[in-house]
Amino acid sequence: MPLYKTEALILRTYKLGEADRIVVFLTRDRGKKRGVANGARRPRSRFAGALEPLTRVGVTYYEREQRDLVRLSYAESQCSPLLATRPDALSHVGYFAELMDEWAQEGDPNERLYRLGTSTLEALAEGVPTPPVARYFEYWLLRLQGVYPPHVACHRCGVALDGEPAGACLEPGGHVFTCHGCAGSAGREEGRGVTLSPEALRFLAASGRVAPQRLGTVPLLPRVDRELESVHQALMRLHLEKELRSTRVLRDLRR
């Protein structure tokens, strides 16, 4: 039974029996894994503090061929989301972890997705404001999955969208961005869905250049934050064909 030692992000856990847990984790080099952590729910478990969602850990596990579950023998926390003491940051931890779990593939290495998760965790731990981190994370997750529409030029006329005073319009169906002139001329002036202002487009452009730890220097007004969140949620619903539980939790917390 091969033994593997690697770095991983904890995505979620489930209760198993009276004292164990099933752990879903994303490894740096071998993709998403599911495993059993024996005794993880006992008060003096060797896994104590290491299995919280989005925790970066060093893990050791055994894996047998043709078995769905690996067996965790060791997990040590290297960076914990609990370092982010702000309530809004802590409330987003499960959201980030659930999104990664939805898109990460079993046993399929994805270095870029793993680095997105670890850099997001580090930004939260370093005190970067939560709204820009959340919009950055959504933007890059959707880009990595190939479902974020190009937002530099209008899909119909080719005009540069960052130079448009009214910004960009996400067409119904969420597949392309157009300028507002093309959206209106195509007969969608009333029902054309969500839009992005020039400020929102500038945030996306900056997100393509800076690391999440530097997002505190990128302007993000509350109005712009809401615009980006609306577009990102529309794209995620379109491609996941459902609304995430953590999305509903965040919405309820705001109320």
What's the confidence (pLDDT) of residue 132? 97
22, 36 in Cβ contact below 8 A?
Answer: yes
d(CA 115, CA 31): 12
**H or E stretch covering 4:** strand 3-16
Q: Which residues, listed in sequence order, are joined to residue 27 by a DSSP beta bridge?
A: 8, 31
Name residues whose C-beta falls within 8 Å of residue 220's C-beta, 6 or more positions apart in sequence: 129, 131, 132, 135, 203
d(CA 244, CA 255): 17
What angle (nearest 5°) sits at the alpha carbon of residue 103, between those of residues 97 and 106? 100
In terms of pLDDT, which residue wins out, 221 or 253?
221
**H or E stretch covering 97:** helix 87-103
Residue 188, classed as helix, strand or coil, is coil
What angle (nearest 5°) sits at the alpha carbon of residue 151, between those of residues 149 and 152? 140
- 89 φ, ψ to 5°? -70, -45
pLDDT of 96 above 70: yes
d(CA 53, CA 81): 8
Rg (CA), the chain: 20
Q: What is the mean pLDDT of the chain?
A: 90
pTM of the model: 0.91
Q: Which residues, listed in sequence order, are joined to residue 34 by a DSSP beta bridge?
A: 24
Question: Tokens 């995505």 correspond to what residue?
Answer: 11
Other C-beta atoms closer than 10 Å to the C-beta of 82 total 16
pLDDT grade, residue 10 (50/70/90)?
Answer: very high
Among residues 200, 206, 161, 152, the alpha carbon closest in space to that of 179 is found at: 161
* pLDDT tens per residue across span 144-168: 999 999 999 999 999 999 888 888 9
CA distances from 139 to 147, 178, 233 (A): 10, 18, 10
Rounded to whole angstroms, the maximal C-alpha distance in the chain is 66
* Neighbouring C-alpha atoms within 13 Å toward the C-beta of 43: 0
Other C-beta atoms closer than 10 Å to the C-beta of 56 total 21
Annotated domain spans of the chain: 128-255
* pLDDT tens per residue across span 178-220: 998 888 765 444 445 678 999 999 999 999 999 999 998 999 9
d(CA 151, CA 201): 8
